[in-house]
């Protein structure tokens, strides 16, 4: 972990989406220095599934050594942004750092993304970041520290990152384009940078999206907080950078990253928009070997592997699994021994079988029979398969992620 230096004592940090998760972690790190934190977030009353409000975050910030100003802010509302900025300047005398953390996500393809979701992502991610920056810039110009930090990815134009969730990528890249433009526009006055995690980060929202058990494949929010702290210590001349959390911490001399893992030693999910792991997966020699095998008579029919996998899945079903999942999955398997299979985790006791399910599937997954068997045996992570285009998903993405927990339980038996 990165130690605090006291550099941010007395500084005012305006953070959107700071009532929980990454935003709150950055706030608490700065609070340990004695910073003033403006908590600009929507949650004034407790959410039924997500812990934390602007007021509970304020109490934690004070306990950590900082001062707090909780403000109800929906970044889609320009008036709420302006009001919070005015209150911050009135209470603390100015704004030294802005963190654009508030974000909306829907990992759905073009035809399955409702206009309401498109508008939400564009208005929170791109427009909200732009308007909050615009409101803070006059005060940031007066600061000796003067940083804007957007929680957004490097601008990777590989079509892979657009094909499965085009609207989300456009909205998220809009935040990154703000970095590109504003860094140049305010060069010498304000440092404008982006920060993005190398791996999945464990938050309450991630639990809600991926279900219990997902945390073992994530790092703690502390790694983002430490990386942000590194950036805030840098001069205004450090601008226009798209920073990966692990890289900047390595530069600071951090060598042991197990301290940031929820489960040290456990494989981690790579985050979106970074090519490293998907490229490695798709370029593995075994891909070519499989093609050669398909061209030759196989001593063992592939149906054995597929049927065997479903048999083990069926043997592992229980009322607890069904109750925890509540979804019907349909698998469209291509190649030799391809076809339609289903996994019903809604009906009593659960069921698997060949053909379409009796009720409509919540999630349809399309992939090769080889990749299907590899996924359930732990040799291919669903996230990697999805991001590299080997797995196509239609339907409820949150339920698709839930299935990964069941796959992990199968690994030891396949």
Average pLDDT over residues 148-156: 97
Q: To the nearest whole percent, how much of the chain has pLDDT over 70?
A: 87
Q: Which of 73-82, 350-359, 393-402 has the highest mean predicted lDDT (pLDDT)? A: 73-82
Distance (Å, whole) CA 65 – CA 169: 37
Per-residue pLDDT, averaged over 294-312, amounts to 58
Whether the per-residue pLDDT at 409 is higher than 70: the answer is no
Work out the burial of residue 134: count CB atoms within 10 Å of its CB; fewer than 13 is exposed, 13-18 middle, 19 or more buried: middle
Tell me how many degrees the CA angle 245-402-166 measures, rounded to the nearest 5: 60
Q: Which of 153-162, 200-209, 333-342 has the lowest mean pLDDT?
A: 200-209
Whose CA is closest to 81, among 38, 142, 23, 37? 38
- CA contacts within 13 A on the Cβ side of 47: 14
Q: Which residues pair with 329 in a beta bridge?
A: 343, 363
Contact 391, 382 (CB under 8 A): yes
Mean pLDDT across the stretch 37-58?
Answer: 88
Band of the pLDDT at 282, cuts 50, 70, 90? Answer: very low
71 by Cβ neighbours in 10 Å (0-12 / 13-18 / 19+) ranks as buried
Please state the length of the chain.
414
At 289, the pLDDT band (50, 70, 90 cuts) reads very low
Give the pLDDT band of residue 153 (cuts 50, 70, 90).
Answer: very high
Q: Quick one: pLDDT band at residue 46, thresholds 50, 70, 90?
A: confident
User: Angle between the 369-376 and 397-410 helix axes, to the nearest 10 degrees?
Assistant: 70
Mean pLDDT across the stretch 36-56? 88
**Alpha-carbon torsion 306, 309, 314, 315, what sign?**
positive
82, containing H or E segment: helix 78-92
Residue 369 has pLDDT above 70, yes or no: yes
pTM over 0.75: no
- Round the average pLDDT of the chain to a whole number and report it: 86
Catalytic positions: 168
- Name which residue leads in pLDDT, 408 or 308: 308
Residue 5 confidence (pLDDT): 80
Write the CB contacts of 346 (distance below 8 Å, at least 6 apart in sequence).
322, 325, 326, 327, 328, 359
Q: What is the mean pLDDT of residues 254-260?
A: 94
What is residue 275's predicted lDDT score, i.e. its pLDDT? Answer: 77
Backbone angles phi and psi of 70, in degrees to 5: -80, 130
- The arithmetic mean of pLDDT across residues 178-201, rounded, is 97
- Residue 235 CA to residue 239 CA, distance in Å, equals 9
pLDDT (tens digit per residue) in 314-359: 888 888 888 888 899 999 998 877 899 999 999 888 999 889 998 9
Q: How confident is the model at residue 2 (pLDDT cuts 50, 70, 90)?
A: confident
Instruction: Looking at 259-300, list the stretches that DSSP marks H as alpha helix, in order from N- to C-terminal side.
Output: 276-282, 286-295
Tell me the backbone φ, ψ of residue 331, rounded to 5 degrees: -115, 120
Using 50, 70 and 90 to split pLDDT, how confident is the model at 43? confident
pLDDT score of 299: 35
**Does residue 150 contact residue 193 with C-beta atoms inside 8 Å?**
yes
Averaged pLDDT, 170-189: 98
pLDDT digits (tens, 9 = 90+) for 83-127: 999 999 999 999 999 999 999 998 888 998 999 999 999 999 999
Q: Percent of the chain, pLDDT > 90? A: 58
Name the most confidently modeled range: 63-77, 201-215, 348-362, 366-380. Answer: 63-77
Q: Of all helices (H) and strands (E), which one includes residue 170?
A: helix 166-185
DSSP result, 11-77: -EEEEET-SSHHHHHHHHHHHTTT-EEEEEES-SS--SSS---HHHHHHHHHHHT-EEEEEE--TT-
Q: Which residue has the higher pLDDT, 4 or 245?
A: 245
Distance CA 271, CA 279 (A): 13
């Amino acid at each position: 972990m990165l130690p605090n230096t006291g550099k941010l004592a007395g500084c005012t940090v305006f953070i959107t989406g700071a009532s929980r998760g990454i935003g709150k972690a950055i706030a608490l790190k700065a609070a340990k220095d004695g910073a003033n934190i403006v908590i600009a977030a929507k949650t004034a009353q407790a959410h039924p599934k997500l812990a934390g409000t602007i007021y509970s975050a304020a109490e934690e910030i004070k306990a950590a050594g900082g001062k707090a100003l909780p403000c109800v802010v929906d970044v889609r509302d320009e008036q709420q942004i302006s009001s919070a900025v005015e209150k911050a300047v009135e209470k603390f005398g100015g704004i030294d750092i802005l963190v654009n953390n508030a974000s909306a996500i829907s990992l759905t393809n073009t035809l399955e993304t409702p206009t309401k979701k498109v508008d939400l992502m564009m208005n929170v991610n791109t427009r909200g970041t732009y308007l909050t920056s615009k409101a803070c810039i006059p005060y940031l110009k007066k600061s000796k520290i003067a940083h804007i930090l957007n929680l957004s990815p490097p601008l990777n134009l590989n079509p892979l990152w657009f094909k499965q969730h085009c609207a989300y990528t456009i909205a998220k890249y809009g935040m990154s384009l703000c970095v590109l433009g504003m860094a140049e526009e305010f060069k010498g006055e304000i440092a404008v940078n982006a920060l993005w995690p190398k791996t999945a980060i464990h938050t309450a929202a991630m639990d809600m999206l991926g279900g219990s058990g997902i945390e073992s494949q994530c790092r703690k929010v502390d790694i983002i907080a430490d990386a942000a702290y590194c950036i805030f210590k840098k001069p205004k001349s450090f601008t226009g950078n798209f920073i990966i959390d692990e890289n900047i911490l390595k530069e600071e001399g951090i060598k042991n990253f197990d301290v940031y893992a929820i489960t040290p030693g456990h494989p981690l999910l790579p985050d979106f928009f970074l090519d490293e792991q998907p490229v490695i997966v798709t370029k593995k020699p075994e891909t070519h070997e499989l093609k050669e095998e398909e061209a030759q008579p196989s001593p063992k029919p592939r149906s054995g592997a597929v049927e065997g996998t479903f048999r083990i899945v069926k043997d592992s079903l229980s009322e607890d699994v069904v109750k925890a999942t509540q979804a019907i999955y349909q698998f469209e398997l291509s190649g030799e021994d391809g076809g339609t299979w289903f996994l019903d985790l809604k009906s009593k006791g659960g069921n698997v079988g060949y053909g379409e399910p009796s009720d409509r599937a919540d999630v349809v997954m399309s992939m090769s029979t080889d990749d299907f068997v590899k996924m359930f045996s732990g040799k291919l992570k669903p996230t990697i398969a999805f991001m590299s285009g080997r797995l196509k998903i239609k339907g409820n993405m949150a339920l698709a992620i839930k299935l990964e927990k069941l796959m992990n339980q199968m690994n030891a038996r396949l």
